[in-house]
Amino acid sequence: MRTDCSAFIKFLLAAIQVSPEEAITQQHAAQTSKTRVKTPVKTRVKTEDQILALLSTHAELRLADVAATIGRSISAVERAVAKLKTQNRLTYEGPKKGGKWKVIRQE
């Protein structure tokens, strides 16, 4: 039993030829019609600035509480506080238990 498949083969060849041309046309159209989307960009706030802002309003906080509030590790907060102390921007006044942080304003 023999059938003539030439019509089907011609159809497949035509489809194979048209597909890459359509893909190229669609890709070119997509490249030329790009639209810019404005996305808000969050600017990073330095850890030192976050600490100073927090301690200026809540001077009684412990460093562990500061770290939890600003979302940083305790060691990162300790390093930042040490840096602020050497820059004379932050001091701790009073006893270890019951003392308060003092933010020193620099002009």
Q: Is 77 exposed, middle or buried (0-12, 13-18, 19+ CB in 10 A)?
A: buried
| Type of residue found at 33 | S
Determine, yes or no, domain membership for 65: yes
Count of domains forming the chain: 1
Which tens digits make up the pLDDT trace of 28-84?
666 666 667 777 777 777 899 999 999 999 999 999 999 999 999 999 999 999 999
Determine, yes or no, domain membership for 63: yes
Question: What's the pLDDT score for residue 96?
Answer: 86
Determine, yes or no, domain membership for 99: yes
Determine, yes or no, domain membership for 2: no
Determine, yes or no, domain membership for 6: no
Determine, yes or no, domain membership for 75: yes
pTM over 0.85: no
- ∠58-62-68 over CA atoms, to 5°? 90
Which DSSP state fits 13?
Answer: H
Determine, yes or no, domain membership for 52: yes
Question: What's the pLDDT score for residue 79?
Answer: 94
CATH number at residue 80: 1.10.10.10
Determine, yes or no, domain membership for 82: yes
Would strands 100-103 and 90-93 be described as parallel, antiparallel, or unpaired? antiparallel
Assess whether pLDDT exceeds 80 at residue 15. no
